[in-house]
């Protein structure tokens, strides 16, 4: 065994055993030089590859001081930043989709604040929410959506988000949300794997109330707990990660308005160690 590998494993063990939270930033995926698979087959595969590669690179290049073991591990590379300069802010649109894996009350605010800090902006142009799936046997309902939507509304009022949207709502649920919400949804994503053609009733409702219908190919569960732990274990050089849980995943795109091209895209990921 390479002695450096042993040293790195020891240091990684110290970091992971002490930390309570893990925050990870993949950097710009438009340039995929650090990833094994340049053209992943699905969003889930892309995310798995990103977590594994970012953790692996980070643990191999960071050496902690035994006096300074942080409660939060921030795994990112300064050279991979997607920070937006003040000069270019008006020229780009920052679009975000937030996947909540758990129903933590602070998750949405934490994710939005981390995105603003990472991208060096005071406001995200649009945020689409994908809340945690309903319990087994239940269907998604307005009551299931309301807690997350209220948090998004608060972030709109504080001007950290300009517009908020939903994902995979049928016409009835979108109408219920629209009628209840103080800040109305500006968009609704539809998965074309479940319907090849936009449902006519949804199209008519969205047109009447100026809601943009978008398409996506994200699975219902972006990443299972088992897949996350596999990716983390590979990236953390085989260390035990059984007590780590995925909290949320934020995928961002920075789009040049005048040309409609993606300047950069990436993921922010938050995981938390389960309490003993």
Is residue 241 within 8 Å of 17, Cβ to Cβ?
no
pLDDT at 59: 81
Domain that holds residue 87: 3-134+142-273
Instruction: Give the Cα separation of 14 and 69 in Å (integer).
Output: 8
Specify the pLDDT at position 67: 65
* 158 has a pLDDT exceeding 60: yes
pLDDT digits (tens, 9 = 90+) for 11-69: 767 777 788 999 999 888 877 555 555 566 788 999 999 999 888 888 887 665 556 78
As for how many domains the chain has, the answer is: 1
Of 90, 42, 3, the residue nearest 227 (C-alpha): 42
Beta strands in 107-260 (DSSP E): 124-130, 161-167, 187-191, 212-216, 244-256
Question: Is residue 192 very low, low, confident or very high in pLDDT (cuts 50, 70, 90)?
Answer: confident
Spatial distance between the Cα atoms of 18 and 240, rounded to a whole number of angstroms: 13
Contact between 230 and 221 (Cβ < 8 Å): no
Q: What is the pTM of this model?
A: 0.90
């Amino acid at each position: 065994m390479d002695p450096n590998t042993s040293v790195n494993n020891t240091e990684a063990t110290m970091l992971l055993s002490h930390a309570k939270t893990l925050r990870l930033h993949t950097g710009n995926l438009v340039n995929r030089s650090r990833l094994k698979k340049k053209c992943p087959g699905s969003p889930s595969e892309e995310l798995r590859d990103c977590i594994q590669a970012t953790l692996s690179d980070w643990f191999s290049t960071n050496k902690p001081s035994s006096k300074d073991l942080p409660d939060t591990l921030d795994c990112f590379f300064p050279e991979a930043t997607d920070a937006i300069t003040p000069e270019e802010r008006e020229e780009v649109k920052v679009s975000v989709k937030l996947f909540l894996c758990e129903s933590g009350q602070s998750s949405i605010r934490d994710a939005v604040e981390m995105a603003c800090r990472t991208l060096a902006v005071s406001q995200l142009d649009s945020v689409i929410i994908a809340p945690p799936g309903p319990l087994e046997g239940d269907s998604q309902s307005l009551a299931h959506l309301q807690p997350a939507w209220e948090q998004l509304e608060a972030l709109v009022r504080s001007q950290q988000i300009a517009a908020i949207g939903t994902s995979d709502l049928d016409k009835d649920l979108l109408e219920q949300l629209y009628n209840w919400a103080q800040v109305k949804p500006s968009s609704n994503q539809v998965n074309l794997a479940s319907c090849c053609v936009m449902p006519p009733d949804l199209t008519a409702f969205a047109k009447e109330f100026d809601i943009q219908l978008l398409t996506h190919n994200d699975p219902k569960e972006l990443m299972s707990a088992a897949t996350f732990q596999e990716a983390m274990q590979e990236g953390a050089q085989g260390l035990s990660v059984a007590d780590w849980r995925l909290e949320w995943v934020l995928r961002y795109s920075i789009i040049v308005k005048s040309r409609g091209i993606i300047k950069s895209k990436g993921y922010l990921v938050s995981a938390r160690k389960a309490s003993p």
